[in-house]
Amino acid sequence: MDITTPQLLYHGTTSDTVQSFQHKLLNAPYWRPGKDFGEGFYTTISIAQARKWSHKAAKESLDGGRPCVLVVELASVPDSIEPLLFLSDSLAWASFIYAHRKVTSKGKDPCDSHPDILIGPMADNDTGKIVHKAVQLKKDEHWFYEQIIVSRGGRKLDSLRLGNQVVFCSERWESHLRLVGYHIYTGSRWMYHESEDAGQAKLV
């Protein structure tokens, strides 16, 4: 699969993680299991989506960090990558998510060989609750699929409305990614900082 570069991607996090990310973007020991596409560094092409992630991360943070969005450039692509691309929601997409969402132990993976990079739609925000219910009721991926593509009101969501995610699942991508800068939410607006010099900032 050819990936045109450069491409800007966004990662939602909290302000207290910036220093760590400036040192290293991909740090597998910190990747958590039980996510849509398994353990990895989650990014999106939508800054609006990343801002939602950052607000969620800040709400769950114990360190009082502010919502923060990293701006990451995909500068190049490694040789011999193993990608997996889901163009839209599908049963195969739902089955992949269901299998990885059920994983509770770090380092365990339902894939025989996990892709280096995954690109595809996000599942619905209530996916965690749906997975828990599916496991309790012993439901299959068909039932799970029907549940994660509808809104709370029961209307089917368009794939574009589900949101997009680009997930790096191997640290071999580290040298191909560059932290361009980051946005920190001040409480009323977002302030952008260049990664080379955090002292340079502007309101956006």
Distance CA 160, CA 178 (A): 27
At 88 the pLDDT is 87
At 199 the pLDDT is 45
At 146 the pLDDT is 85
Burial of 70 (0-12, 13-18, 19+ CB in 10 A): buried
Q: If residue 182 lies in a helix (H) or strand (E), which one and from where to where? A: strand 177-185
At 198 the pLDDT is 45
At 153 the pLDDT is 66
At 172 the pLDDT is 93
At 96 the pLDDT is 95
Cα→Cα distances 18→14, 39, 196, 198, Å: 7, 20, 12, 10
Domains parsed from the chain with CATH numbers: 7-203 (3.90.228)
Q: Do β-strands 117-121 and 83-85 pair in parallel, antiparallel, or remain unpaired?
A: parallel
Which residues of the chain carry a pLDDT beneath 70? 1-6, 124-125, 151-161, 196-204
The model's pLDDT over 140-193, given as tens digits with 9 standing for 90+, comes to 889 888 888 776 666 666 666 678 899 999 999 999 999 999 999 999 999 999
At 195 the pLDDT is 86
At 160 the pLDDT is 64
62 phi and psi angles, rounded to 5 deg: -95, -10
At 30 the pLDDT is 93
Sheet holding 67-74, edge to edge: 7-14, 67-74, 177-185, 190-194, 201-203
**DSSP type of residue 118:** E
At 23 the pLDDT is 93
At 55 the pLDDT is 95
At 27 the pLDDT is 96
**DSSP type of residue 156:** B
At 151 the pLDDT is 65
At 26 the pLDDT is 97
Cα→Cα distances 123→55, 194, 201, Å: 18, 32, 34
Amino acid letter for position 127: T
Distance CA 194, CA 178 (A): 12
